[in-house]
Amino acid sequence: MKLSTVLSAFLVCTPVALAIVAPPSVAQAADGAAVLKKLDKDAEAFADVSYVSTMEIWKNGSKKKTLQFDMTMKGLDKQYISFTAPGDVAGMKILMVGDELWMYSPEFQKVRKVAAHAQSQGFLGSEFTPEDMVMTGLEKHFDAEIGGQSGNETYLSLTPKADFTSSWSKLELTIDKTKGGVTKIKYFDGSGTAVREQLREGWSKISGKAMPTQIKMKNLKTNAETVIQLSDIKVDQGVEDDLFSRRTLLR
């Protein structure tokens, strides 16, 4: 999952001051890069973040499964997830360090690396993918251009850098200054068609910083949806680096 920010693809969510520049497009691109840099910086507002999550998987308008997991993040490059329910996934653990993902399966009692080609596949039947989990630090992977502004919302268009392989040809971010961060992300496939949409809702102040407590990912082709609800959010707990090791997965 790159579950960015919330996961940072999930958690690019702290306040952003935006100045919109008129054409030409070169000026828009330069300004977009500055905005994206600010988003990445704000995503690191806390040294570490931990929370409890409930993930509901919906298909054809019906809830098919509910999963629970504990998440701990340190900076933008370290994440640790431990599934606690239901029974068939309890004990499963995921470790992300940099661009590498590792998974522990209690069924086989083994740790395996998640191959790059598998990172775009839905995880445990959800609409989130391992790629969502590792796609943190957006500035290093994407070029950005401001797409416009409407009321309190500013639109940012991201395209992958030449040296970065992504499942998406473009991301469109909506930044709402009244909420304090990114409220929507649209994902476009290679043909330029919008195929996924992420919504960030339930905004709350955590130690003075804005954070969404509900994250929805919708498949725009099938209308299948996955909803993640965050609770018991804790920040700056002094999490040790030792947590983010393959040894931890075996405990």
Nearest CA among 71, 120, 118, 31 for reference residue 243:
71
Task: Give the predicted TM-score (pTM) of the model.
Answer: 0.84
Determine the Cα–Cα distance for residues 223 and 197; give it in Å rounded to an integer.
10
Whether 243 shows a pLDDT value over 70: the answer reads: yes
Q: Where are the beta strands (DSSP E) in 35-141?
A: 48-59, 62-74, 78-85, 93-97, 100-105, 110-113
Q: Are 214 and 198 in contact (CB under 8 A)?
A: no
- pLDDT of amino acid 29: 58
CB 5 within 8 A of CB 12: yes
Confidence at residue 83, expressed as pLDDT on a 0 to 100 scale = 96
pLDDT at 16: 27
Q: Note the pLDDT tens digit of each residue in 46-77.
A: 999 999 999 999 999 999 999 999 999 998 88
- Domains within the chain, CATH numbers bracketed: 8-236 (2.50.20.10)
Among the ranges given (79-93, 112-126, 151-165, 235-249), the one the predictor scored with the smallest mean pLDDT: 112-126
The CA-to-CA distance between both ends of the chain, in Å, stands at 22
- Determine the average pLDDT of the residues in 185-214: 95
What sections of 84-237 are H helices per DSSP?
130-134
SS3 state of residue 99: coil
Does position 116 have pLDDT exceeding 80, yes or no?
A: no
pLDDT at 248: 93
Q: Where are the alpha helices (DSSP H) in 12-128?
A: 25-43
